[in-house]
Chains A and B, each alone.
Chain A
Amino acid sequence: MINEHLPALQVVVPLLAAPICFLIPNKRLSWLFATLVSWLSFAMAILLVIAVNDGTILHYEFGGWAPPWGIEYKVDIFNSYVLLIVTAIGAAVFPYSWKSIQKEIPETHHRIYFTAMLLCLAGLLGMTITGDAFNLFVLLEISSLSSYTLISLGRDRRALTASFQYLIMGTIGATFILIGVGLLYALTGTLNMADLASRIPALEGSRTLEAAFAFLILGFGLKLAMFPLHLWLPNAYSYAPSSVSAFIGATATKVAIYALLRFLYTVFGSSFSFDYMQVHWLLMPLAIASFMFASIVAIFQDGIKRLLAYSSVAQIGYILLGISLVNVTGLTAALLHMFNHALMKGGLFLALGAIAYRIGSTRVQSIAGIGQAMPYTMAAFVIGSLSLIGVPLTVGFISKWYLILATLEKGYWPLTVLIIISSLLAVVYTWRVIETAYFQERPAGAPAVKEAPLSLLIPTWVVILANLYFGINSSLSTDLASHAALLLFGGSLL
C-alpha cells in the first residue's frame, strides 16, 4: 500500500509534518522530529528513483480524479533525480541545524525555524514532482514564503532587507509564472502538463502562446537567478543563517531550473521552445555573461558567503549554458551540474557554517590562521573548493568535462576557452580564502579557536565525501543524468 502512495507521501509527509512540528512544545524534540522527517523523505526519494529507473512512469491521482480534471503527480527519471538532490541536501542540513542555529538564531525562534524548513522542503519537492501547472504555482508559493522567512532569521539586521528584496523579486517572478499559466489555460482549457503538451503543438503561431512562453521564462528566470535577474541572490545567501544558505543555496535554484526545463521540454516541447522561439539564443549570452561576470565579481568579495553566492550565480550560468547548447551532451552536463553543484555548494556552505559557529564571522580576514586550529573543517572547505574549480577526482570535474565535450560537439570552441577561463577565476577566488586560512598568522590577541563540534563536522563531511565519491565513481550520477536528458529529448520527439 505504501508503495502505491509513495509519490503523494513524498510531499504530504513533510507538508503535514510542518504544522505538527509547530505544535511540539520542546525545541529539541521539534528538531529530532524534523530531522526524522527529512531522512524519511530522503528514503522515499531513493525508493522512487529505484522504482522509475527502468523507465516506468508513476502516476498518482489526487482525490481519485483522473487528469486533466484532477491533480496528478507524475514521477519519471528526470524529476526523481531532482527529488533525490533536494532530499539528500535536506537530510544533511536538518541534523546539522541544531548546533548551527544555537549561535545564530534566538532560542524563541527555533521551532519556527524547523517549521519553516519543513515547509520549504515540502514546497520544493512538490514543485518537482507535480504534473499540474497550477499545482506547481501553489507549491512554489509555499516554498517561497518559507524561504523569505528563513532568510529573515539571519543574525545581521541586513537579513531583513535581503529577505524583503528577495520577496519583491520572487513575487514578481511568481506573478509572471501565474500569468503564463493563466494564458495557457485560456488557450487550452487545461492545467495538466501532459494534457497541455498534447494541445500546444496545434497552437503554434498563436501570439498568446508566445506571450505565455515569455512570461514563464522570465518568471522562472527570476526564481533561478538568471543573469541579470540575479540581484536578489548575493544578499539573500550572505545574510541568511548558515544552515539556510546551505539548504536554499543547494536546492532552491535547482528546482527552479528543473521547472524551467519541464516547461521548455515537456509542456511547450523542444520544437516550439528551440526551433520556433529560438530561446537558446537568449539563454546562451546570458549564461556566458553570468559565469564570466559573477566569477570576476566573486574575486573582489570580502565576505566568504557573498563570494560563494556569486560563485552560485556563475554555476547557474554553466547549467544554463548546457541547456542552451540544445544537444543531449549539453543537457546531460546541465543536469549533472545541478546534482554536482548542490553537493559542492552544500558542502562549502556547511563547512562555512562550522567556521561561523566557532569564530562568529565569515569575513575573509577573520579566518586568518584557522587552518591549524580547525583542520577538519578547513580540509572540507578545500575539497569543496577543488570541486568548485573542477579538479579531477571531484564531481566538479565530471560536469565541467561533459560541458566542454558538449561545446566541442557543437564546434563552439570559444565557449570552451571561456569555461576554462572562468574555472581559473574560480581558482583565484577560492585560493584567497584558503591562503588566508592556512598561510596567514592568527592576529595577535585573537581568542583561541577550537575544531568545530562533531554534530557540524559529520554532516559537512558526508556531503564533502559525496563530492569525492561521485567524482571517482561517477557512473551512478552520469547514468541518471544522461537517461533523464534522453527522456527529455525523446519525450519531445513523440
Chain B
Amino acid sequence: MSNINLLIDVVLLAMLVLTTIAIVRIESLFAIVMLTGVFSLLAANIFIILDAVDVAFTEAAVGAGISTVLMLATIGITGYEQKRRRKISWVAPLIVVTITGAVLVYGTLDMPAFTDPEAPIHTHVAPRYINESPTEVGIPNMVTSVLASYRGYDTMGEVIVVFAALIGVLSLIGIREHKGDPKHLEPPARPVLQVMSKFMIPFIILFALYVQFHGDFGPGGGFQAGVIFAVAIILYALTFSQQDAMDLAPPRILKRLASLGVLIYGGTGVVSMLKGGNFLDYNVLAHDPVHGQHYGILVIEFGVGLTVACVMMLIFFAFISRGDRNP
C-alpha cells in the first residue's frame, strides 16, 4: 500500500517539476498560462494525497480555475507571444536559485519525519483542535473550525488581502463600461456555447451555494464558493457578451458589495465586542456558546463568499474591458 503511495507521490512531484521547467522554457504565453493551470491541478492532487482536501479544493478552484481565467484575460490584452528580449545573463539568477534550493534541502534534513505521529505539529496545538473542536465549536469539519474560529482573525486578514488586490487592480486599470456602444450591444452568435452555458450556469450557482453553506460539514467555505459563483458569471460573460454580464452584475454594485463583505466579517467581530466578548468571539453571540459559534461562522463565511465573488468578477471585468480596447 505504502509503495503505491510512494509511487504516486514520485510521479506527481516529477510531473510538477517537468511542468515548471516547461513554463520556464516555453515562449508562448498561452501555453504558459495553461501549464500554470496544470501545475495547480497537480498541486491539488498532492494536497489530496496529504489528506488536506480543503486546501486541495481551494487550490483547484483558485489556482487551476480562476487564476487561469484571469491570466487568459491578461494575455487578451498583452498578446499571446512573449516579446523577444535581449539575451540576459542567467548566471546570477541561477546562483540565487541554487543557493535557495540548497538551503531548503539542508533545512529538511532535520525536519521531523513525514507521517511521524510524534512530530510537534501533531502533538502540540493540533490535539485540541481535533479533540475539543466538536464540543467547543460544534461543527464536524475541524478545518473550518480552525480557519473561521480559532484563527478567524487571520482569515479576516486574508479577505482584506483580496480586497486590497481589488483596490490595486482598480487603481491600475479600472473598469470601462461600454454603455451604448453598438459593438457591444450585439452579442456574437455562438449558439452551441450559449445553449450549453445556459444549461450549466444554474448548476454552477447551485454548487457554489452548496459549497458555501456546506463548509461546516465537508470541504468548502466562502473562498471556494465565492470563486465558483464568480465563474458562473464569467462563463456568462464569455459566451454571451461582456455587456450582458455587466448588466446582470453591475460593477458599481459589485464594488459596494465587495466592501460590504469585509464589513460583514469585521462587523461580526464588532458585535461580539459590544456583547462583552473579545473581537470575533462568537460564543457571546447567542445564549448557548456553541450556537453562537454556528451563527458567527455562518455569517463570516457569507462575508468571505460575498467579497471573494465580487472581487473576482470585478477583476475579470477590469481585464476584459481593457482587452476590448486593444483587440
Interface residues of A (CB under 8 A from B): 5, 8, 12, 15-16, 18-20, 22-23, 60-65, 68-71, 108-109, 112-113, 115-116, 119, 126, 134-135, 138-139, 141-142, 145-146, 148-149, 152-153, 160, 179, 183, 185-191, 199, 206-212, 214-215
Contact = CB atoms under 8 A, between A and B. Distances in A.
A112 B171 contact: yes
Most buried by A among B107, B112, B267, B277: B107
A145 B266 contact: no
A119 B161 CA distance: 9
Interface in B137-180: 149-154, 157-158, 160-161, 163-165, 167-168, 170-172, 174
B199 interface: no
Given A152-B172, A215-B103, A68 B167 contact: no
Given A8-B279, A71-B151, A190-B125, 14 more contacts: A16-B266, A61-B278, A62-B281, A70-B150, A109-B171, A119-B163, A142-B161, A188-B124, A189-B121, A191-B125, A199-B124, A207-B107, A210-B106, A211-B106
Contact of B153 (A62, A188, A189, A199): A62
28 contacts: A12-B279, A18-B262, A22-B167, A60-B279, A63-B279, A63-B280, A64-B277, A64-B278, A65-B149, A112-B171, A116-B164, A116-B167, A116-B168, A119-B167, A138-B154, A141-B164, A142-B161, A142-B164, A183-B107, A183-B111, A186-B111, A188-B124, A189-B124, A189-B126, A190-B124, A199-B124, A211-B103, A211-B104
Contact of B121 (A60, A65, A179, A186): A186
B122 interface: yes
Interface in B252-288: 255-256, 258-260, 262-263, 266-267, 269-270, 273, 277-283
B107 A210 contact: yes
A230 B234 CA distance: 41
Given A16-B266, A63-B149, A183-B111, A189 B161 contact: no
Contacts of B277: 64
A187 B111 contact: yes
What 9 A-B pairs are tightest by C-beta distance, nearest first? A211-B107, A189-B124, A189-B120, A64-B281, A138-B157, A19-B259, A62-B153, A145-B164, A16-B266
A259 to B, nearest CB: 16
B266 A15 contact: yes
Contacts of A112: 167, 170-171
Contacts of A119: 160, 163-164, 167
B108 interface: yes
A126 B164 CA distance: 15
A287 B150 CA distance: 41
B213 interface: no
Contacts of B260: 19, 23
Nearest to A112: B171
Contact of A208 (B111, B126, B168, B283): B111
Nearest to B277: A64
Given A146-B164, A185-B121, A62 B157 contact: no
B181 interface: no
B196 interface: no
A112 B174 CA distance: 11
Given A8-B279, A153-B171, A19 B122 contact: no
B168 A145 contact: yes
A68 B104 CA distance: 26
A108 B149 CA distance: 38
B119 interface: yes
B192 interface: no
A68 B109 contact: no
B47 interface: no
Contacts of A108: 174
Nearest to A2: B273
Interface in B225-275: 255-256, 258-260, 262-263, 266-267, 269-270, 273
B268 to A, nearest CB: 11
Most buried by A among B149, B163, B171: B171
B129 interface: yes
Contacts of B152: 62-63
A188 B279 contact: no
Contacts of A209: 110
B128 interface: yes
Contact of B279 (A62, A145, A187, A189): A62
B22 to A, nearest CB: 22
B123 interface: yes
B259 A22 contact: yes
Contact of A115 (B157, B167, B172): B167
Contacts of B258: 19
A347 B160 CA distance: 31
B168 A148 contact: yes
A200 to B, nearest CB: 11
A18 B149 contact: no
Contacts of B168: 116, 145-146, 148-149, 152
Contacts of B106: 207, 210-211
A413 B19 CA distance: 55
Contacts of B108: 208, 211
A179 B100 CA distance: 11
Most buried by B among A185, A186, A210, A215: A186
A109 B168 CA distance: 11
A298 to B, nearest CB: 25
B96 to A, nearest CB: 9
Given A23-B256, A64-B281, A138-B154, A69 B125 contact: yes
Contacts of B150: 63, 65, 69-70
Given A18-B160, A71-B151, A187-B120, A146 B167 contact: yes
A418 B163 CA distance: 46
B253 to A, nearest CB: 12
A109 B277 CA distance: 38
Nearest to A19: B259
A80 B110 CA distance: 37
Contacts of B103: 211, 214-215
B145 to A, nearest CB: 10
B70 to A, nearest CB: 16
Given A189-B119, A212-B107, A69 B128 contact: yes
A153 B171 CA distance: 7
Given A19-B259, A62-B152, A138-B154, A189 B107 contact: no
Contact of B158 (A62, A138, A208): A138
A186 B112 contact: yes
Contacts of A212: 107
Given A207-B109, A208-B108, A71 B129 contact: no
Interface in B269-318: 269-270, 273, 277-283
B18 to A, nearest CB: 22
Contacts of A138: 154, 157-158, 161
A208 B107 contact: yes
